[in-house]
A and B are shown apart, each in its own frame.
Chain A
Amino acid sequence: KNEVEQSPQNLTAQEGEFITINCSYSVGISALHWLQQHPGGGIVSLFMLSSGKKKHGRLIATINIQEKHSSLHITASHPRDSAVYICAVRSVAGGATNKLIFGTGTLLAVQP
């Protein structure tokens, strides 16, 4: 069982739809990242969360530390949002607090 799991793995939406991507983790963490990666491209950090909720433009990220769960929401989705969205946690296991453990990613396709 992966330490970081995302759902769904694949998501197709129509332009304008509200999108939710979920992330559950099983390890103790100091922070959780939501990342965006376009096909063949580099990674862009969207959010780093340790509690509560953050908003940036049409993107909202929430985290529930007790339930070990985080969600990424995209409002008014647009075809340019099409990308892989990755949840990654900064584990505190074994005292190592700097490396990230990545989820398997959610491939989002927003159709016009």
Chain B
Amino acid sequence: AAGVIQSPRHLIKEKRETATLKCYPIPRHDTVYWYQQGPGQDPQFLISFYEKMQSDKGSIPDRFSAQQFSDYHSELNMSSLELGDSALYFCASSLRVSGPYTFGSGTRLTVV
């Protein structure tokens, strides 16, 4: 069965560079969530989209932006990267806001 696909799996960037992370939800899922998990920390909610509109916003820095496209995939754009942005970024999708989550395997971002 198709799962939530994230790309890339690993990414190394230098400080002040930009990065784009992609998330492809399960087919027919219309809701996407982004979470950030720093080393040894709990995942923190960043932002979510339902039907291509932002549905909720968490602790997402102003340097980050995200959107959901017509095919329901989502991209997280990160600019002016800082060392503290190094983390595992994972997305999840669901059918409507109330549906069960399916998680992607995550993108591990390392900022050097």
Q: Which residues of A contact B (CB under 8 A)?
A: 30-31, 33, 35, 40-45, 48, 86, 88, 96-105
Q: Taking the complex as formed, is B64 at the interface, i.e. its CB lies under 8 A from any CB of chain A?
A: no
Name the residue of chain B whose CB is nearest to the CB of A47. Answer: B100
Our pick among A35, A41, A45, A98 for the contact of B55 (Cβ within 8 Å) is A98
Nearest 8 pairs of A and B residues by beta carbon: A42-B105, A43-B103, A98-B97, A99-B45, A102-B42, A48-B100, A42-B106, A102-B43
A interface majority secondary structure: strand
Q: How far is the CA of A45 from the CA of B104 in the complex (A)?
A: 10
Q: How far is the CA of A112 from the CA of B95 in the complex (A)?
A: 40
Q: Taking the complex as formed, is B74 at the interface, i.e. its CB lies under 8 A from any CB of chain A?
A: no
Q: How far is the CA of A40 from the CA of B58 in the complex (A)?
A: 23
Q: Which residues of B contact A (CB under 8 A)?
A: 31, 33, 35, 42-43, 45, 48, 50, 55-56, 58, 88, 90, 92, 94, 97-98, 100-106, 108
Whether A96 lies near B98 (C-beta < 8 A) is: no
Whether A97 lies near B101 (C-beta < 8 A) is: no
Whether A41 lies near B31 (C-beta < 8 A) is: no
Chain B residues whose C-beta falls within 8 Å of the C-beta of A96 in the assembled complex: 56
- Distance (Å) between the CB of A22 and the closest chain B CB? 17
Chain B residues whose C-beta falls within 8 Å of the C-beta of A99 in the assembled complex: 33, 45, 48, 56, 58
Chain A residues whose C-beta falls within 8 Å of the C-beta of B33 in the assembled complex: 98-100
Chain A residues whose C-beta falls within 8 Å of the C-beta of B103 in the assembled complex: 35, 42-45
- Distance (Å) between the CB of B35 and the closest chain A CB? 8
Whether B97 lies near A97 (C-beta < 8 A) is: yes
